[in-house]
Structure 1
């Protein structure tokens, strides 16, 4: 019986080598806009319904379409104002349905990473080959439309399987070598990047993507008011900024253009961004840049630390 996912080792937060970010930054800060495509009538999945309403789910579809019609431009203008390049968690069907959005993001040198093809088609129930085909399709689509070799992955609608990370690592290597497929956002288990096991033994990491800071979780699940969400973002930053004086931390705000970009929610989000970016020792960056920097400067020492902690733990357990 498995007692944990087996994807990473336990690694005590207070016993790690120090992380140093570029220019002595305390916090690596990135914003991950989820730019998604939802189908009004997707193929049925026996494990999860796309919509809680019977067909046609006009309300649910309409607000998500609002995100791509209105909300995206509104959020993009705000991120431009604060010098933030988005790292797009992309439903790659958007490349065909709304190529104009892809063009606007390319012009700003935003990162594109894979969030599957449609956010209404889930990994649940797929064979390993079917999931691999979906992942490869999404990586190839990003390259064809943007020229970027996709570095990161977030499973569509968070429908992660026990093979997802292995398949993404292998698909990236098969298509583009070590230039693609080397970080995941699917684990939600840390405030710093951490090494992840893959069956291919590829150098692969998890970078923090916070469900607690996710606007959909805040507004739909926890039913927060905008001002409370904005304060929560600032409180989260304050703690990570404080701890980052000792060893660099990562803060991510995952957004959705049909959530945070509604008119009554924008002021709270803008105030939070203004607060974070007013601090000088913050590295405003992208998911890929965080992953690349960590792999270059901290990955090997992290593995050594993990191995050392494991040896100490085994020694302490012996009678």
Structure 2
């Protein structure tokens, strides 16, 4: 193709599914037409006929009080180790109700639709298995799109937060991570659909603050593995105490870093955050489903009817663009 200045380029190479499923133009890949229609029917089953109606609730045989005992051990004791965040999603949601959207692009984030006690919900999670969970430009765009989608269709959002912050480095700058990160922040604060946040591990930096502080009133719970801060201890101590550490010898520097790490580690206990009302409660991970089901029932029973009235009189005007 002369226009592309690339030799041997086929139409599939240029505009096929392998190209556009990884850049966000196409969200989901289907093996054939039948599977495509199956996926479309699945997505439509979560949606109301219009933005003036609540999402359809289906009967559910999955107990709202079901314990998720596997979640008690899913977060590794070593902070550097990763885990599969989709296990958390499928454990909390109704059995076989999880439908992921855009799995092949923006892989630092995971979004999709599921049900809780038969009620449709939107899911947002960070993916610690990619880029250590740091949110990049594509991941920010993916969450932005999902927030707007759920806002239009009155679908409440459940998000699992393990956020070390926005990605940094030359590639992050080259892809304009912060520009898309600011667009994400704007979307979090301008959309109005209720959000329930479950802090599974880290909440750091601007990105972590945006995810947790985007709604008022807020609904936030944390697992005992949760930790907060402006920066992770690794690197954050060296930045905050740079002047002090600069004047120490190698042995003294190592000892002082250890002392500071222990001191800040004690201050980062999630109980301190709960005592200051930074989260509503620190919970046993196994009861997460029960708590979220209680919340979603209240949303559908009390908050969504009010929201629909506000949309009808023009007080709320969700837009997807």
Q: What TM-score, normalized by structure 2, do the two folds share?
A: 0.29
Greater relative contact order: 1 or 2 (C-alpha under 8 angstroms, separation 6 or more)? Answer: 1
Point out the structure with max Rg over C-alpha: 2
